[in-house]
Amino acid sequence: MVVLIPEDVQVDKLINYCSIDQKLNADMLFYLMALIYIIPSGRKDKVYINGYIPFNAKILQGISRDYRYHLDFLITYGYLESDRSYVAGSKSIGYKFTPKYSGNSLKPIKIASNQLANKIRRGRLEISTVLKYPHLAKWWDWIEIDVEGATKCSLNLFMLDLQNGKSMRESEIKHNSRIATIHSINNKDYLFKQCEYGRLHTNLTYLKKELRNYITCNGEQLTEVDLKNSQPYFFLEMLEKYQNLKSKKEEVKNSRIHISQYQNLVPTTFYYYIIMIVKDSETPIEWDYELFNYLVETGKLYEFIQKYFESELGSNYFYKFVNHESEIRSYVKQELVFRSFYGKKMYGNLELLSTIFPVAYGAIQHYKKNDYTKLAHLLQRVEAKYILNIVTKRVSRIEPDAPMFTIHDSIATTEKYVGLVRAQLEKYLIENLGTAPTLMISKWSD
Protein backbone atom coordinates (compact mmCIF):
# COMPACT_ATOMS: atom_id res chain seq x y z
CA MET A 1 0.00 0.00 0.00
CA VAL A 2 1.25 3.48 -0.95
CA VAL A 3 0.14 6.71 0.74
CA LEU A 4 1.01 10.38 0.20
CA ILE A 5 2.81 12.62 2.68
CA PRO A 6 4.28 16.15 2.42
CA GLU A 7 7.45 16.45 0.34
CA ASP A 8 9.41 18.10 3.16
CA VAL A 9 8.87 15.30 5.66
CA GLN A 10 12.25 13.67 6.31
CA VAL A 11 11.41 9.98 6.26
CA ASP A 12 14.79 8.88 7.60
CA LYS A 13 14.42 11.20 10.56
CA LEU A 14 11.02 9.72 11.44
CA ILE A 15 12.36 6.18 11.12
CA ASN A 16 15.23 7.13 13.46
CA TYR A 17 12.75 8.42 16.05
CA CYS A 18 10.96 5.07 15.84
CA SER A 19 14.19 3.15 16.43
CA ILE A 20 14.67 5.11 19.66
CA ASP A 21 11.04 4.87 20.84
CA GLN A 22 9.89 1.27 20.33
CA LYS A 23 6.27 2.27 20.89
CA LEU A 24 6.33 4.31 17.68
CA ASN A 25 5.60 2.76 14.30
CA ALA A 26 6.79 4.69 11.24
CA ASP A 27 4.05 3.26 9.01
CA MET A 28 1.38 4.45 11.45
CA LEU A 29 2.91 7.93 11.42
CA PHE A 30 2.85 7.97 7.60
CA TYR A 31 -0.77 6.79 7.55
CA LEU A 32 -1.94 9.43 10.03
CA MET A 33 -0.33 12.15 7.92
CA ALA A 34 -1.90 10.72 4.77
CA LEU A 35 -5.35 10.92 6.37
CA ILE A 36 -5.17 14.70 6.04
CA TYR A 37 -5.50 14.11 2.29
CA ILE A 38 -7.61 10.94 2.30
CA ILE A 39 -10.54 12.02 4.49
CA PRO A 40 -11.60 15.11 2.45
CA SER A 41 -11.67 13.03 -0.76
CA GLY A 42 -14.89 11.41 0.45
CA ARG A 43 -16.60 14.77 0.93
CA LYS A 44 -15.62 16.79 -2.11
CA ASP A 45 -17.83 19.82 -1.38
CA LYS A 46 -17.33 20.09 2.37
CA VAL A 47 -15.60 23.17 3.75
CA TYR A 48 -13.41 22.39 6.77
CA ILE A 49 -13.34 25.08 9.46
CA ASN A 50 -9.85 26.61 9.58
CA GLY A 51 -8.57 23.63 7.60
CA TYR A 52 -8.91 21.07 10.43
CA ILE A 53 -9.76 17.55 9.23
CA PRO A 54 -11.80 15.45 11.72
CA PHE A 55 -10.30 12.05 12.63
CA ASN A 56 -12.71 9.29 13.68
CA ALA A 57 -11.31 7.86 16.92
CA LYS A 58 -13.32 4.62 16.68
CA ILE A 59 -11.91 3.81 13.22
CA LEU A 60 -8.36 4.64 14.26
CA GLN A 61 -8.70 2.53 17.40
CA GLY A 62 -9.49 -0.44 15.17
CA ILE A 63 -6.28 0.12 13.22
CA SER A 64 -3.95 0.79 16.16
CA ARG A 65 -4.60 1.01 19.87
CA ASP A 66 -1.67 3.41 20.08
CA TYR A 67 -3.03 5.86 17.49
CA ARG A 68 -3.30 8.60 20.14
CA TYR A 69 0.35 8.17 21.10
CA HIS A 70 1.34 8.60 17.45
CA LEU A 71 -0.83 11.70 17.02
CA ASP A 72 0.68 13.25 20.16
CA PHE A 73 4.15 12.61 18.72
CA LEU A 74 3.27 14.30 15.42
CA ILE A 75 1.90 17.31 17.30
CA THR A 76 4.83 17.53 19.74
CA TYR A 77 7.43 17.45 16.95
CA GLY A 78 5.68 20.02 14.79
CA TYR A 79 4.15 17.95 12.00
CA LEU A 80 0.49 18.38 12.94
CA GLU A 81 -1.62 20.71 15.03
CA SER A 82 -5.05 20.08 16.56
CA ASP A 83 -8.16 22.16 17.20
CA ARG A 84 -8.67 20.18 20.45
CA SER A 85 -12.41 20.41 19.83
CA TYR A 86 -14.63 17.40 20.46
CA VAL A 87 -18.42 17.24 20.75
CA ALA A 88 -19.83 13.81 21.55
CA GLY A 89 -21.94 12.49 18.68
CA SER A 90 -21.36 15.41 16.35
CA LYS A 91 -17.70 16.49 16.06
CA SER A 92 -14.39 14.65 16.15
CA ILE A 93 -11.09 16.31 17.01
CA GLY A 94 -9.61 17.98 13.92
CA TYR A 95 -6.01 17.95 12.69
CA LYS A 96 -4.01 19.75 10.01
CA PHE A 97 -0.39 20.15 9.00
CA THR A 98 1.63 22.91 10.59
CA PRO A 99 2.60 25.80 8.27
CA LYS A 100 5.96 24.12 7.58
CA TYR A 101 4.22 21.25 5.77
CA SER A 102 0.81 22.59 4.73
CA GLY A 103 1.93 24.08 1.41
CA ASN A 104 4.12 21.14 0.37
CA SER A 105 4.00 19.08 -2.76
CA LEU A 106 3.17 15.43 -2.07
CA LYS A 107 5.37 12.36 -2.29
CA PRO A 108 4.45 8.66 -2.15
CA ILE A 109 5.61 6.45 0.66
CA LYS A 110 5.05 2.70 0.99
CA ILE A 111 3.43 1.19 4.06
CA ALA A 112 5.90 -1.61 4.70
CA SER A 113 3.88 -3.43 7.35
CA ASN A 114 1.50 -5.90 5.68
CA GLN A 115 -0.42 -6.23 8.94
CA LEU A 116 -1.12 -2.49 9.12
CA ALA A 117 -1.83 -2.28 5.38
CA ASN A 118 -4.38 -5.10 5.64
CA LYS A 119 -6.13 -3.41 8.56
CA ILE A 120 -6.41 -0.20 6.53
CA ARG A 121 -7.67 -2.11 3.48
CA ARG A 122 -10.36 -3.87 5.51
CA GLY A 123 -11.84 -0.48 6.28
CA ARG A 124 -11.95 0.36 2.57
CA LEU A 125 -12.60 -2.94 0.81
CA GLU A 126 -15.52 -4.72 2.50
CA ILE A 127 -15.65 -8.42 1.70
CA SER A 128 -19.39 -8.51 2.45
CA THR A 129 -20.00 -5.80 -0.15
CA VAL A 130 -17.79 -7.55 -2.72
CA LEU A 131 -19.78 -10.77 -2.19
CA LYS A 132 -23.05 -8.86 -2.50
CA TYR A 133 -22.06 -7.18 -5.78
CA PRO A 134 -19.51 -9.50 -7.44
CA HIS A 135 -20.77 -8.40 -10.88
CA LEU A 136 -19.50 -4.89 -10.07
CA ALA A 137 -16.42 -5.69 -7.98
CA LYS A 138 -14.82 -7.95 -10.60
CA TRP A 139 -14.14 -5.06 -13.01
CA TRP A 140 -11.95 -2.97 -10.73
CA ASP A 141 -8.70 -4.61 -11.77
CA TRP A 142 -9.41 -3.30 -15.28
CA ILE A 143 -9.58 0.34 -14.20
CA GLU A 144 -6.69 2.65 -15.13
CA ILE A 145 -6.07 6.36 -14.76
CA ASP A 146 -3.85 8.80 -16.65
CA VAL A 147 -2.01 10.14 -13.59
CA GLU A 148 -0.24 12.95 -15.44
CA GLY A 149 -3.36 14.18 -17.20
CA ALA A 150 -5.52 13.94 -14.08
CA THR A 151 -2.91 15.77 -11.98
CA LYS A 152 -2.75 18.64 -14.49
CA CYS A 153 -6.54 18.83 -14.47
CA SER A 154 -6.55 19.00 -10.67
CA LEU A 155 -4.01 21.83 -10.75
CA ASN A 156 -6.25 23.73 -13.16
CA LEU A 157 -9.18 23.23 -10.77
CA PHE A 158 -6.96 24.48 -7.94
CA MET A 159 -6.20 27.69 -9.86
CA LEU A 160 -9.87 28.09 -10.75
CA ASP A 161 -10.84 27.82 -7.07
CA LEU A 162 -8.40 30.60 -6.22
CA GLN A 163 -9.75 32.77 -9.05
CA ASN A 164 -13.27 32.22 -7.72
CA GLY A 165 -12.32 33.57 -4.32
CA LYS A 166 -11.69 30.40 -2.32
CA SER A 167 -8.93 30.58 0.25
CA MET A 168 -5.52 29.07 -0.37
CA ARG A 169 -6.04 26.61 2.50
CA GLU A 170 -9.42 25.39 1.21
CA SER A 171 -8.12 25.14 -2.35
CA GLU A 172 -5.09 23.13 -1.18
CA ILE A 173 -7.25 20.71 0.82
CA LYS A 174 -9.41 20.00 -2.22
CA HIS A 175 -6.44 19.66 -4.58
CA ASN A 176 -4.49 17.34 -2.30
CA SER A 177 -7.54 15.15 -1.67
CA ARG A 178 -8.01 14.84 -5.44
CA ILE A 179 -4.37 13.82 -5.82
CA ALA A 180 -4.86 11.20 -3.08
CA THR A 181 -7.79 9.69 -4.97
CA ILE A 182 -5.85 9.70 -8.26
CA HIS A 183 -2.99 7.78 -6.64
CA SER A 184 -5.31 5.34 -4.86
CA ILE A 185 -6.76 4.35 -8.25
CA ASN A 186 -3.35 4.14 -9.88
CA ASN A 187 -1.99 1.99 -7.01
CA LYS A 188 -5.12 -0.21 -7.05
CA ASP A 189 -5.86 0.66 -3.46
CA TYR A 190 -9.56 0.02 -3.88
CA LEU A 191 -12.46 1.49 -1.97
CA PHE A 192 -15.57 -0.68 -2.25
CA LYS A 193 -17.97 -0.44 0.66
CA GLN A 194 -21.69 0.08 1.20
CA CYS A 195 -22.95 2.48 3.83
CA GLU A 196 -25.85 1.67 6.13
CA TYR A 197 -28.22 3.57 3.83
CA GLY A 198 -27.41 1.44 0.81
CA ARG A 199 -25.06 3.67 -1.17
CA LEU A 200 -21.96 2.04 -2.68
CA HIS A 201 -18.82 4.12 -2.14
CA THR A 202 -15.84 3.54 -4.43
CA ASN A 203 -12.77 5.35 -5.72
CA LEU A 204 -14.92 6.67 -8.58
CA THR A 205 -17.60 8.14 -6.31
CA TYR A 206 -14.75 9.97 -4.52
CA LEU A 207 -13.24 11.19 -7.80
CA LYS A 208 -14.06 14.72 -8.91
CA LYS A 209 -16.30 14.71 -11.99
CA GLU A 210 -13.79 16.52 -14.19
CA LEU A 211 -11.16 13.84 -13.46
CA ARG A 212 -13.31 10.98 -14.76
CA ASN A 213 -12.18 11.91 -18.27
CA TYR A 214 -8.81 10.31 -17.43
CA ILE A 215 -10.31 6.94 -16.48
CA THR A 216 -10.30 3.94 -18.82
CA CYS A 217 -11.40 0.32 -18.46
CA ASN A 218 -8.99 -2.11 -20.11
CA GLY A 219 -7.95 0.72 -22.43
CA GLU A 220 -11.51 1.73 -23.36
CA GLN A 221 -13.13 5.01 -22.44
CA LEU A 222 -16.28 4.84 -20.35
CA THR A 223 -19.69 6.34 -21.02
CA GLU A 224 -22.03 7.34 -18.21
CA VAL A 225 -25.79 6.81 -18.21
CA ASP A 226 -26.96 9.42 -15.72
CA LEU A 227 -30.40 9.72 -14.15
CA LYS A 228 -31.23 13.43 -14.08
CA ASN A 229 -33.33 14.93 -11.28
CA SER A 230 -32.70 11.66 -9.46
CA GLN A 231 -33.67 12.78 -5.95
CA PRO A 232 -37.05 14.26 -6.99
CA TYR A 233 -37.52 11.23 -9.25
CA PHE A 234 -36.98 8.66 -6.47
CA PHE A 235 -39.11 10.85 -4.21
CA LEU A 236 -42.08 9.89 -6.41
CA GLU A 237 -42.15 6.45 -4.78
CA MET A 238 -42.29 7.96 -1.32
CA LEU A 239 -44.83 10.56 -2.41
CA GLU A 240 -47.18 7.84 -3.60
CA LYS A 241 -46.86 6.01 -0.27
CA TYR A 242 -47.55 9.25 1.55
CA GLN A 243 -50.70 9.89 -0.45
CA ASN A 244 -52.00 6.50 0.57
CA LEU A 245 -51.50 7.41 4.23
CA LYS A 246 -53.22 10.80 4.22
CA SER A 247 -56.66 11.92 3.15
CA LYS A 248 -56.69 14.26 0.18
CA LYS A 249 -58.74 17.01 1.81
CA GLU A 250 -56.39 17.17 4.77
CA GLU A 251 -53.31 17.78 2.64
CA VAL A 252 -54.72 20.41 0.25
CA LYS A 253 -56.21 22.84 2.72
CA ASN A 254 -53.05 25.01 3.00
CA SER A 255 -52.56 25.50 -0.74
CA ARG A 256 -52.69 29.16 -1.82
CA ILE A 257 -51.88 28.86 -5.51
CA HIS A 258 -54.70 29.16 -8.04
CA ILE A 259 -54.73 27.09 -11.20
CA SER A 260 -54.51 30.21 -13.40
CA GLN A 261 -51.06 30.98 -11.98
CA TYR A 262 -49.65 28.01 -13.88
CA GLN A 263 -50.55 29.40 -17.29
CA ASN A 264 -47.28 31.24 -17.91
CA LEU A 265 -45.09 28.68 -16.16
CA VAL A 266 -45.74 25.50 -18.14
CA PRO A 267 -46.31 24.67 -21.83
CA THR A 268 -49.79 25.61 -23.08
CA THR A 269 -50.72 22.01 -23.85
CA PHE A 270 -49.94 20.86 -20.33
CA TYR A 271 -51.76 23.84 -18.82
CA TYR A 272 -54.97 22.78 -20.53
CA TYR A 273 -54.28 19.19 -19.45
CA ILE A 274 -54.26 20.46 -15.85
CA ILE A 275 -57.54 22.31 -16.48
CA MET A 276 -59.15 19.07 -17.64
CA ILE A 277 -57.94 17.24 -14.54
CA VAL A 278 -59.38 19.94 -12.29
CA LYS A 279 -62.74 19.73 -14.06
CA ASP A 280 -62.85 15.95 -13.64
CA SER A 281 -61.71 15.72 -10.02
CA GLU A 282 -63.32 16.48 -6.70
CA THR A 283 -60.16 17.98 -5.21
CA PRO A 284 -57.13 19.76 -6.68
CA ILE A 285 -54.80 17.05 -5.38
CA GLU A 286 -54.66 15.34 -8.74
CA TRP A 287 -53.30 18.34 -10.65
CA ASP A 288 -50.72 19.04 -7.94
CA TYR A 289 -49.46 15.47 -8.14
CA GLU A 290 -49.71 15.37 -11.96
CA LEU A 291 -47.71 18.59 -12.26
CA PHE A 292 -44.94 17.31 -10.01
CA ASN A 293 -44.76 14.07 -12.02
CA TYR A 294 -44.73 15.96 -15.31
CA LEU A 295 -41.89 18.26 -14.24
CA VAL A 296 -39.78 15.37 -12.92
CA GLU A 297 -40.40 13.27 -16.03
CA THR A 298 -39.45 16.09 -18.40
CA GLY A 299 -36.51 17.24 -16.30
CA LYS A 300 -38.02 20.72 -15.91
CA LEU A 301 -38.60 20.80 -12.14
CA TYR A 302 -35.76 23.22 -11.34
CA GLU A 303 -36.64 25.54 -14.22
CA PHE A 304 -40.29 25.62 -13.16
CA ILE A 305 -39.40 26.48 -9.54
CA GLN A 306 -37.08 29.21 -10.84
CA LYS A 307 -39.90 30.76 -12.91
CA TYR A 308 -42.35 30.59 -10.03
CA PHE A 309 -39.98 32.22 -7.54
CA GLU A 310 -39.20 34.96 -10.08
CA SER A 311 -42.90 35.56 -10.69
CA GLU A 312 -43.54 35.88 -6.95
CA LEU A 313 -40.35 37.60 -5.76
CA GLY A 314 -39.14 39.53 -8.80
CA SER A 315 -37.14 38.69 -11.90
CA ASN A 316 -33.83 39.65 -10.23
CA TYR A 317 -34.44 37.61 -7.06
CA PHE A 318 -31.73 34.98 -7.68
CA TYR A 319 -29.03 37.57 -8.39
CA LYS A 320 -28.86 38.14 -4.64
CA PHE A 321 -27.16 34.74 -4.46
CA VAL A 322 -25.46 34.19 -7.84
CA ASN A 323 -23.45 36.31 -10.25
CA HIS A 324 -24.58 34.88 -13.57
CA GLU A 325 -27.75 33.49 -15.11
CA SER A 326 -26.01 30.17 -15.81
CA GLU A 327 -25.63 29.62 -12.04
CA ILE A 328 -29.34 29.97 -11.19
CA ARG A 329 -30.37 26.39 -11.99
CA SER A 330 -27.63 25.00 -9.76
CA TYR A 331 -28.72 27.34 -6.96
CA VAL A 332 -32.36 26.22 -7.29
CA LYS A 333 -31.25 22.58 -7.20
CA GLN A 334 -28.89 22.87 -4.22
CA GLU A 335 -30.41 25.62 -2.09
CA LEU A 336 -34.14 25.10 -2.72
CA VAL A 337 -34.88 21.51 -3.73
CA PHE A 338 -31.99 19.73 -1.97
CA ARG A 339 -32.31 21.92 1.11
CA SER A 340 -36.00 21.01 1.24
CA PHE A 341 -35.08 17.33 1.18
CA TYR A 342 -32.01 17.43 3.41
CA GLY A 343 -32.12 20.64 5.44
CA LYS A 344 -32.93 20.78 9.12
CA LYS A 345 -35.47 23.57 8.73
CA MET A 346 -37.62 25.09 5.99
CA TYR A 347 -36.90 28.78 6.39
CA GLY A 348 -37.46 32.02 4.50
CA ASN A 349 -38.75 31.72 0.97
CA LEU A 350 -38.54 27.93 0.95
CA GLU A 351 -42.10 28.09 2.27
CA LEU A 352 -43.14 29.14 -1.24
CA LEU A 353 -42.71 25.51 -2.29
CA SER A 354 -45.72 24.65 -0.16
CA THR A 355 -47.92 26.87 -2.34
CA ILE A 356 -47.08 25.15 -5.63
CA PHE A 357 -46.61 21.59 -4.37
CA PRO A 358 -48.74 21.26 -1.22
CA VAL A 359 -48.78 17.45 -1.34
CA ALA A 360 -45.05 17.08 -1.99
CA TYR A 361 -44.32 19.69 0.68
CA GLY A 362 -46.54 17.82 3.13
CA ALA A 363 -44.74 14.57 2.34
CA ILE A 364 -41.35 16.18 2.94
CA GLN A 365 -42.49 17.45 6.34
CA HIS A 366 -43.98 14.04 7.17
CA TYR A 367 -40.77 12.11 6.50
CA LYS A 368 -38.60 14.66 8.32
CA LYS A 369 -40.91 15.12 11.28
CA ASN A 370 -38.86 13.41 13.99
CA ASP A 371 -35.50 13.22 12.22
CA TYR A 372 -34.58 15.68 9.49
CA THR A 373 -31.99 13.24 8.06
CA LYS A 374 -34.55 10.46 7.55
CA LEU A 375 -35.76 11.65 4.15
CA ALA A 376 -32.24 11.77 2.70
CA HIS A 377 -31.51 8.28 3.97
CA LEU A 378 -34.79 6.92 2.59
CA LEU A 379 -34.01 8.42 -0.81
CA GLN A 380 -30.57 6.79 -0.78
CA ARG A 381 -32.17 3.43 -0.03
CA VAL A 382 -34.62 3.84 -2.91
CA GLU A 383 -31.73 4.80 -5.20
CA ALA A 384 -29.70 1.73 -4.14
CA LYS A 385 -32.68 -0.56 -4.57
CA TYR A 386 -33.16 0.34 -8.22
CA ILE A 387 -29.62 1.12 -9.39
CA LEU A 388 -27.59 -1.50 -7.48
CA ASN A 389 -30.01 -4.26 -6.60
CA ILE A 390 -32.18 -4.35 -9.71
CA VAL A 391 -30.71 -2.69 -12.80
CA THR A 392 -27.01 -3.62 -12.55
CA LYS A 393 -27.85 -7.22 -11.61
CA ARG A 394 -30.30 -7.48 -14.51
CA VAL A 395 -27.74 -6.10 -16.99
CA SER A 396 -25.13 -8.54 -15.71
CA ARG A 397 -27.48 -11.51 -16.13
CA ILE A 398 -28.22 -10.50 -19.72
CA GLU A 399 -24.61 -9.67 -20.59
CA PRO A 400 -22.01 -10.96 -18.09
CA ASP A 401 -19.22 -9.26 -20.07
CA ALA A 402 -20.64 -5.76 -19.54
CA PRO A 403 -18.33 -3.78 -17.19
CA MET A 404 -20.25 -1.44 -14.91
CA PHE A 405 -19.23 1.19 -12.37
CA THR A 406 -21.90 2.99 -10.36
CA ILE A 407 -21.69 6.56 -9.16
CA HIS A 408 -24.78 6.59 -6.96
CA ASP A 409 -27.53 7.53 -9.47
CA SER A 410 -25.58 6.75 -12.64
CA ILE A 411 -23.92 3.76 -14.29
CA ALA A 412 -20.73 3.96 -16.38
CA THR A 413 -19.92 1.29 -18.92
CA THR A 414 -18.03 0.84 -22.19
CA GLU A 415 -19.58 2.10 -25.42
CA LYS A 416 -20.70 -1.37 -26.52
CA TYR A 417 -23.09 -1.75 -23.57
CA VAL A 418 -24.50 1.78 -23.24
CA GLY A 419 -27.70 0.87 -25.08
CA LEU A 420 -28.32 -2.15 -22.85
CA VAL A 421 -27.76 -0.20 -19.63
CA ARG A 422 -30.02 2.60 -20.79
CA ALA A 423 -32.78 0.22 -21.87
CA GLN A 424 -32.75 -1.65 -18.56
CA LEU A 425 -32.78 1.59 -16.54
CA GLU A 426 -35.81 2.85 -18.45
CA LYS A 427 -37.60 -0.50 -18.31
CA TYR A 428 -37.35 -1.10 -14.57
CA LEU A 429 -37.85 2.49 -13.46
CA ILE A 430 -40.99 2.88 -15.56
CA GLU A 431 -42.31 -0.49 -14.39
CA ASN A 432 -41.80 0.36 -10.71
CA LEU A 433 -42.37 4.12 -10.57
CA GLY A 434 -44.74 4.60 -13.49
CA THR A 435 -42.88 7.68 -14.72
CA ALA A 436 -40.27 7.71 -17.47
CA PRO A 437 -36.83 8.79 -16.21
CA THR A 438 -34.79 11.53 -17.86
CA LEU A 439 -31.47 9.95 -18.81
CA MET A 440 -28.35 11.73 -20.01
CA ILE A 441 -25.55 9.96 -21.89
CA SER A 442 -22.07 11.45 -21.54
CA LYS A 443 -18.72 10.06 -22.58
CA TRP A 444 -15.74 10.31 -20.25
CA SER A 445 -13.18 11.80 -22.57
CA ASP A 446 -10.93 14.81 -23.03
Residue range 403-430, pLDDT digits in tens: 999 999 999 999 999 999 999 999 999 9
* pLDDT of 191 higher than 90: yes
- Cβ neighbours for 315, distance < 8 A, ≥ 6 positions apart: none
Mean local confidence (pLDDT), 235-264? 62
**445: pLDDT confidence band, cut at 50, 70 and 90?**
confident
At residue 275, the pLDDT reads 53
Using CB atoms within 10 A of its CB, is residue 413 exposed (0-12), middle (13-18) or buried (19+)?
buried
Mean local confidence (pLDDT), 129-149? 95
pLDDT tens-place string over residues 356-399: 787 888 888 888 888 888 999 999 999 999 999 999 999 999 99
* pLDDT of 442 higher than 70: yes
The Cα–Cα gap between 239 and 212 comes to 34
E strand residue ranges, 369-443: 405-406, 410-414, 439-443
Using CB atoms within 10 A of its CB, is residue 289 exposed (0-12), middle (13-18) or buried (19+)?
buried
Q: Which of 158-167, 219-228, 243-252, 327-336 has the highest mean pLDDT?
A: 219-228
The Cα–Cα gap between 67 and 84 comes to 16
**435: pLDDT confidence band, cut at 50, 70 and 90?**
confident
At residue 401, the pLDDT reads 96
At residue 260, the pLDDT reads 54
**252: pLDDT confidence band, cut at 50, 70 and 90?**
very low
At residue 258, the pLDDT reads 52
Mean local confidence (pLDDT), 265-273? 55
Looking at per-residue pLDDT, the higher value among 36 and 307 belongs to 36
Mean local confidence (pLDDT), 323-340? 86
* pLDDT of 247 higher than 60: no
Query: Please, which residues bridge with residue 192 across strands?
Result: 125, 202
Mean pLDDT score of the chain:
86
**324: pLDDT confidence band, cut at 50, 70 and 90?**
confident
Using CB atoms within 10 A of its CB, is residue 39 exposed (0-12), middle (13-18) or buried (19+)?
buried
At residue 251, the pLDDT reads 46
At residue 307, the pLDDT reads 85
Longest Cα–Cα distance of the chain, Å, equals 86
